[in-house]
Copies of this chain bind each other. A is one copy, B any other.
Amino acid sequence: MDLKRMGNQTVVFANPPVILASHSVVGPKEGQGPLRKTFSKVWKDQLHGEKSWEVAETKMLQEAMQGAIDQVGFPKEQIDFMLAGDLLNQIISASFAARQMALPFIGLYGACSTMALSMAVGSMLLDGGFARNVLVGVSSHHDTAERQYRFPTEQGTQRAMSAQWTVTGAGSLLIGKNGTGPRITSATIGRVVDYAESDVNNMGAAMAPGVADTILNHLNDLQRKPEDYDLIVSGDLGAVGLGLAAELLKKSGLDMGTKFTDCGVMIFDASQDVHAGGSGCGCSSVVFAGDIMQRIKIGELKRVLLVGSGALHSPTSSLQGESIPGIGHAVVIEA
């Protein structure tokens, strides 16, 4: 069998996996943003009746995954793998959701890039012949992430203007070997790139080099130009990181034009006081499962490049003086 690869980093699917269903659940703030009508469900508050934010995040992820399952006409037993991850230590939201789903579980960690990473790995398992269907689910929760990564949530610490707002949201996709729907046609797994940014209030700057590196390699591997895509969307660089990524790409001779945007820029508007935009792996998962999937389905977007961006640090590594390694994972989705 020939290798399903092109160039250095890109895999190309022989039988592109099909996105059979998508579901997104978000918190109240996301439900007031510009994409509010594209989400499957908006929670009225951050706890949703649970005893802790962590339990609420697990429930949100379960709800998103169950929502995707409910849209297809086959039993859960036809799903061969669940691929999931989140931002919490030991990815407990995904692990506890996996306990409830009782499906063979592959835990992934790519920080905010986890959605694109899960879609890429899931697609390889499908196209490789190892599964009939896979369930992808990725979440973040503003309050669980803030208190783990930064300050006690109740403290109300003033945020830097370059800081992003961790999205409360869970997105899920049910991807199949057969069926009709948008297809995942290729994927580019990123390398870690670190430009020595160490400011944890400026994740966008830390992740921009990794995203730029993956976009360059992706286009080079497939011999494509930015114009070959209707949308190139990172998730989630925010406004600061998006500008920096565009600048880095320009220095490499690539003008990204107006079709280059970011899930963290799309999900909130200026009036919502989120500074540089949204972040957290829930952000790209709900923007993709919501808005982008809708626009692909109605024919507005024919070919999309989703580039998940991850800041692969921890509070411990930052306190020990390490810089923040960034990574970008890309998947191509076609109508």
Contact = CB atoms under 8 A, between A and B. Distances in A.
Interface of A: 1-5, 8-9, 11, 14-15, 51-52, 54-55, 77, 80-81, 85, 88-92, 95-96, 98-99, 102-111, 117, 121, 124-125, 127-132, 148, 188-192, 194, 312-317, 320, 322, 325, 327
A59 to B, nearest CB: 13
A166 B313 CA distance: 23
A96 B325 contact: yes
The 3 A-B pairs with the shortest beta carbon distances in the complex, nearest first, are A128-B128, A95-B312, A104-B189
Contacts of A106: 108, 117, 121, 189
21 contacts: A2-B129, A3-B130, A3-B132, A4-B129, A5-B130, A51-B320, A52-B320, A54-B316, A89-B90, A92-B316, A95-B192, A96-B322, A98-B192, A98-B312, A99-B192, A99-B194, A99-B312, A104-B191, A106-B121, A108-B108, A124-B124
B98 A129 contact: no
Nearest to A104: B189
A103 B55 contact: no
A221 to B, nearest CB: 11
Given A89-B315, A105-B327, A128-B128, A189 B81 contact: yes
A231 B178 CA distance: 38
Given A54-B316, A127-B128, A191 B89 contact: no
Contacts of A80: 5
Given A95-B325, A96-B322, A316-B92, A191 B103 contact: yes
A89 B3 CA distance: 35
Given A130-B124, A325-B96, A105 B316 contact: no
B104 A107 contact: no
A55 B321 CA distance: 11
Nearest to A214: B104
Contact of A54 (B77, B81, B107, B320): B320
Contacts of A4: 128-130
A191 B105 contact: yes
Nearest to A125: B124
A54 B124 CA distance: 32
Nearest to A107: B109
Contacts of A103: 191
Contact of A90 (B81, B109, B130, B192): B109
Contacts of A191: 98, 102-105
